[in-house]
Amino acid sequence: MRLEEVKWGEYKLGDLFEIKGNPQLNKDSFSFNENGEYAYFTRTVFNNGIAGYVDYLDEKHKIKGNCLAVGMLGMKFFYMQNDFYAGQFTKRAIPKLFSLSPRLAAYFCSLLNKNEQVFKNVLVRDFERVFNKTKIQLPTKNGEIDFDFMESFIAELEAERIAELEDYLLATGLNDFELTEEEERVLRSFNEVEWKEYQMKYLFERIKTKKLPYKAKELPKEPTGKYILPCLTSSFMNQGLNYFAPKENATILENVISIPSNSDVYRAYFQSREFTVLSDAYAIKWIYDDRELSKNQYLFTVPCINEVTDLPKYSYKNKLGGWNVVRNKFISLPIKNNKPDYEFMETLISAIQKLVIKDVVLYANRKIDETKSVVNNSME
């Protein structure tokens, strides 16, 4: 069925979902485990609201999955497919007349999150009342909610995105995940590599940039009109690139490393696309050996830098500072003949990319087969 042929009905959220509070578990009472079975849901809007994973704790606080969870700070809904634990000030929305599937959950999350700002504007104690009276539009068939259409609609969107992913992997050559003999050798010999410490100022230099006459709050967060050049700020979200400025009179940078100078997270990033520096951040480039690093070699140096800059001891009250501080830090690099081993850096990153992308390629192939099946069934 084409979208323009769909009939729609208006429904109150309170008729569709029941809001329940979550048994709240203080994170100081347990330890996170990266291999833990249960997600720990909190008020964060990052990583689907999941702050980490834990082992089984108790039945008293465990929450049954297949529901929508929301934190009372960000007011963003996420699908919790499996049983989980939750922190303070979180709630969940449980369907009254139907059961969720991953695709139905995606459909409803998109509708609920359109009301994110509405929910943010009310007191926490009024959230349930406002939620219950909020109305949404749903597809209908014969006077009933058309859940089949919602399933197939999300399946078609998935198919489109997966097709785009396939095209990207093909265009970039990332669809090839077979390791070469050299890549396998580098992975096997990693523990035998010799390392050496280098002071940052002998490896990199700060790039001089023009000061732009803009403040972040004056700039759009999406490219529009002449505002198309990403701007680097002190934020660690989206690699610090959260605003857009005109290219005119800007210092345009590309294929260099960015570092914030006024943040509570001092994390370096490799910036492969054009950008400029706005404020409270800067960019550095490789100068050792008068060599121009490849993308993979730059990617290798980033975690080496973050080993000494992205540390808990650096906080907003105890700032790392700018390049005048970072330049004196020491980082470790692999060496060969007492010089940075550029070939090792290149090959290791290539091997890691293939190991990671292998799962992505196999996932894409599997999802294509699944979505084709759903879409075909919905058309029968």
What are the pLDDT digits (tens) for 63-84? 999 999 999 989 999 999 999 9
Quote the CA–CA distance of 84 and 101 in Å, as a whole number.
17
pLDDT given for residue 314 in this prediction: 46
Tens of pLDDT along 74-133? 999 999 999 999 998 999 999 998 999 999 999 999 999 999 999 999 999 999 999 999
Residue 270 pLDDT more than 50? yes
Give the list of residues 6+ apart from residue 260 with CB closer than 8 angstroms, or none.
233, 234, 235, 236, 240, 266, 267, 280, 281
Residue 48 or 3, more confident: 48
Residue 379 pLDDT more than 70? no
Sign of the Cα pseudo-torsion (99, 101, 105, 108, in order): negative
Token pair for 45: 């809007």
Secondary structure of 28-76 as H, E, C letters: HHCCCCCCCCEEEECCCCCHHHEEEEECCCCCCCCECCCEEEEECCCCC
CA angle 172, 174, 176 (to 5 degrees): 130
Per-residue pLDDT, averaged over 350-363, amounts to 86
Crossing angle of helices 147-172/342-379, nearest 10°?
150
Counting beta carbons within 10 angstroms of the beta carbon of residue 156, is it exposed (0 to 12), middle (13 to 18) or buried (19 or more)? middle
In terms of DSSP bridges, do strands 269-271 and 90-95 run parallel, antiparallel, or are they unpaired?
unpaired
Give the list of residues 6+ apart from residue 313 with CB closer than 8 angstroms, or none.
none
Residue 316 pLDDT more than 50? no
Per-residue pLDDT, averaged over 24-52, amounts to 88
Tens of pLDDT along 167-184? 887 787 777 888 999 999
Quote the CA–CA distance of 46 and 102 in Å, as a whole number.
19
pLDDT given for residue 322 in this prediction: 80
Q: Where are the alpha helices (DSSP H) in the chain?
A: 13-16, 102-112, 116-120, 127-133, 147-172, 181-188, 200-203, 295-309, 323-326, 342-379
Range with the poorest average pLDDT among 161-165, 256-260, 306-310, 313-317: 313-317
Q: How confident is the model at residue 318 (pLDDT cuts 50, 70, 90)?
A: very low
Provide φ and ψ at 220, rounded to 5°. -75, 155
pLDDT given for residue 235 in this prediction: 73
Answer yes or no: same fold for 3-145 and 194-340: yes
pLDDT given for residue 312 in this prediction: 47
Range with the poorest average pLDDT among 239-248, 285-294, 297-306, 310-319: 310-319
pLDDT given for residue 362 in this prediction: 81
Per-residue pLDDT, averaged over 36-61, amounts to 92
Helix, strand, coil shares of the chain as percentages rounded to 5? 40, 25, 35
Closest CA to 177 of 369, 364, 348, 361: 361
Quote the CA–CA distance of 32 and 326 in Å, as a whole number.
31
Provide φ and ψ at 260, rounded to 5°. -75, 150
Quote the CA–CA distance of 228 and 250 in Å, as a whole number.
12
Closest CA to 69 of 114, 113, 12, 129: 113
pLDDT given for residue 375 in this prediction: 52
Residue 303 pLDDT more than 60? yes
Residue 43 pLDDT more than 60? yes
The 10 Å Cβ neighbour count of residue 371 is 22
Among the ranges 39-53, 92-106, 215-229, 298-312, which has the highest mean pLDDT value? 92-106
Cβ 123 vs Cβ 105: under 8 Å = no
Q: How confident is the model at residue 1 (pLDDT cuts 50, 70, 90)?
A: low
Closest CA to 46 of 76, 4, 15, 72: 76
The CATH homologous superfamily of the domain defined by 3-145? DNA methylase specificity domains (3.90.220.20)
Task: Provide, rounded to the nearest whole percent, the portion of the chain with pLDDT above 90.
Answer: 62
Q: Which CATH class is domain 194-340?
A: alpha beta
Cβ 219 vs Cβ 243: under 8 Å = yes
Q: Could you tell me the residue ranges of all domains in the chain?
A: 3-145, 160-176+348-379, 194-340
Quote the CA–CA distance of 304 and 294 in Å, as a whole number.
16
Instruction: List strands edge to edge, sheet with 339-340.
Output: 195-199, 330-336, 339-340
pLDDT given for residue 291 in this prediction: 94
